[in-house]
Amino acid sequence: MKYHVKDLDLAPAGRLRIEWAEREMPVLRQIRERFAMEKPLKGIRLSACLHVTTETANLARALQAGGADMVLVASNPLSTQDDVAAALIAYDEIPVYAIKGEDNITYYEHLHAALDHKPHMTMDDGADVVSTLHKDRREVLGNVIGGTEETTTGVIRLRAMAHDGALQYPIIAVNDAMTKHLFDNRYGTGQSTLDGIIRATNVLIAGKSVVVGGYGWCSRGIAMRAKGMGANVIVTEIDPLKALEAVMDGFRVMPMLEAAPIGDIFVTSTGDINVVDKQHFEVMKDGAIVCNSGHFNVELNLPALAEMATGEPRVIRPFVKQYFLPDGRVINILADGRLVNLGAAEGHPSAVMDMSFANQALSAEYMLAHADELEHTVYAVPEDIDQAIARLKLKAMGVEIDVLTEAQKKYLSSWTEGT
């Protein structure tokens, strides 16, 4: 078996952490048990490009139990958990190509290894496999039946491809399932981003001014959790509706240029470039902490910061790089501007990834069963899958809910009844 990981000796530690995560992933566990009996993915070569974490390991094991011939590669150079990568090879015989801190060349070599697998199905987090396949490896296209996409950024890229008529196979947008973005993006990103900032810096959040770039589902979670820890939260937005929502949620809203001299900590999660730009670095406080929790590191204009800085930046502690400006100010960049929650911490907790990855597994099964009926465009996760996952999660949490009575059903379907 070919693979490329840091150190196979890390496998026993990784295996224990995968087992720990599994305890928080009851929905995915049930899917794995059914997949093991029914083998819905039998004979399918599946190339997954995901963050290589304990949660992803549990997804990979579920897909393999379903009969998929898997290969897993990193979806970000900094998010890999090296012990998990080793454990998947040593105990599950799943080839993994992922090393924490890999450079861009290695990152793309790993993407190509995923395509060398000649997949029938792709599973992406950020759409790098789909984009590399369509740009540089079109000979692989003939085998592909369909794919799935995990994240907001990837779905935006894929919709742009579909809009241009470039997309050559159907994709299910896992991100857009309610049981994904309402929980993973909000509670997952909220908790794990604060976790990343705290692990990297150990600074006190209470009393700090935290500037959150964007007010989508991820940023809402970050703002909510920062506020919960006692920060004064400022939100920046370009969308009037989201800005209004942030105001009514109790946050101060202002342009980034106004927030830049006030903030102690900056976090972006917008999916766009240069959210923190040269003119913002120019007016930041000495010691400002700047990080990103969006999919790509382009949200911070780091090339501009490097140009403004004098001398070489210095790593003062793991995942904290200091840039020295000519006027004596220091700007601290966390995790090289990459996803701080996965770079400096462990990503979203398993209990939310349980639902995200249940969507992945069930969407892969659905895609295979319905590929013939699907066009080369981006599809939502079928509502019955979303509902089923919510019900399974509630059941696993021991939460029961009411059921509509016949009278209530009748009332809801009638337009004649008033007060």
Residues that bind ligand ADE (CB under 6 A): 50-51, 53, 55-56, 188, 342, 347-348, 353
Which one, 95 or 343, has the nearer CB to ligand ADE? 343
Q: Is 6 exposed, middle or buried (0-12, 13-18, 19+ CB in 10 A)?
A: middle
- Minimum distance of ligand ADE from residue 14's CB (angstroms): 14
- Minimum distance of ligand ADE from residue 193's CB (angstroms): 10
- Minimum distance of ligand ADE from residue 341's CB (angstroms): 6
* C-alpha distances in Å from residue 317, one per residue of 175, 185, 233, 293: 34, 28, 26, 19
Residue with tokens 């919960």: 228
Cα separation, 139 vs 90, in Å, equals 31
Which one, 5 or 256, has the nearer CB to ligand ADE? 5
Give which of 209, 205, 269, 207 is closest to 237, Cα–Cα.
Answer: 269
Which one, 185 or 236, has the nearer CB to ligand ADE? 185
List the alpha helices (DSSP H) in 117-268. Answer: 128-136, 152-163, 178-180, 189-201, 217-228, 240-248, 256-259
Tokens of 408: 């209530």
Which one, 201 or 269, has the nearer CB to ligand ADE? 269
- Minimum distance of ligand ADE from residue 138's CB (angstroms): 28
Please count the residues of the chain: 419
First to last CA, the chain: 69
- Minimum distance of ligand ADE from residue 323's CB (angstroms): 27
Q: Determine the residue with CB nearest ligand ADE.
A: 347
- C-beta neighbour count of 123 within 10 angstroms: 32
- Minimum distance of ligand ADE from residue 301's CB (angstroms): 24
Which one, 73 or 234, has the nearer CB to ligand ADE? 73
Which one, 253 or 352, has the nearer CB to ligand ADE? 352
CB 382 within 8 Å of CB 416:
no
